[in-house]
Amino acid sequence: MKVERVSYDVITPSAARAVFESIFWKPSVKWHVRRIEVLTPIRWVNLRRNEVKSKVSVSSVVSAMQGGDADIGIYADEPDERVQRAALLLRDVAYRLHADMEVRADRSDPAPQAKFHAMFERRALAGQCVNQPYLGCREFAARVRLVTDMASEPAPIADSRDLGWMLHDMDFANPADPQPVFFRAQMQRGAIDVDGRGNTR
């Protein structure tokens, strides 16, 4: 939506991928989210957020990067710039995320893929991250832990429903014109399988 912000019913695969990348990121590593398990009932909250209504132009940023004197600041204190927008957001969420790590063949590091898996596990167990994990928007910080014993973990919720078309990720095949990729999200007993993206558009 252009004005009022409305969340999807559950975390999107691209937001889930960002959680893994916040723990372990390398240019040669790509994360593929395979399954999202919803552990708490889907609940909503309405709130209003302060935003600015203008954007910095690309030409101004390019000019500033090239040493020009373009003004790229947005002054949030100016009454004409401030705007409040309503948002319908998820609340009290908990997910169990499953993903595979792909190590690209063109990487220069000759170490085996097992090395990167071990690095990820070590960082996740120690609570280390590249940046603060978040759920979709940076202001919604997430607590993350590595599941080591599934026997002691809660089961997903028993809910099954068609969640409709959901953003899977952005396709950067053409870097000048990235395109969104959607898939038909089906939740079966609290689990959404995103492997394969068979119903994309």
Structure confidence by residue, pLDDT tens digits, 148-196: 999 999 999 999 999 999 999 999 889 899 999 999 999 999 999 997 5
Domain covering 5-40+93-193 assigned CATH 3.40.50.300 in the classification: no
Structure confidence by residue, pLDDT tens digits, 77-118: 777 888 888 999 999 999 999 999 998 876 566 667 888 999
Instruction: List b or e across 38-57, with b for residues whose CB sees 16 or more CB atoms inside 10 angstroms.
Output: beeebeeeeeeeeeeeeeee
d(C-alpha 16, C-alpha 19), whole Å: 5
* CB burial of residue 35 (10 Å; 0-12, 13-18, 19+): middle
CATH 3.30.70.2660 domain position(s) in the chain: 5-40+93-193
- What is the pLDDT of the chain when averaged over all its residues? 88
What does the block give as tokens for 187? 């939740």
Residue 133: name the closest of 125, 145, 142, 146 by CA: 142
Give the bridge partners for 100, in sequence order.
32
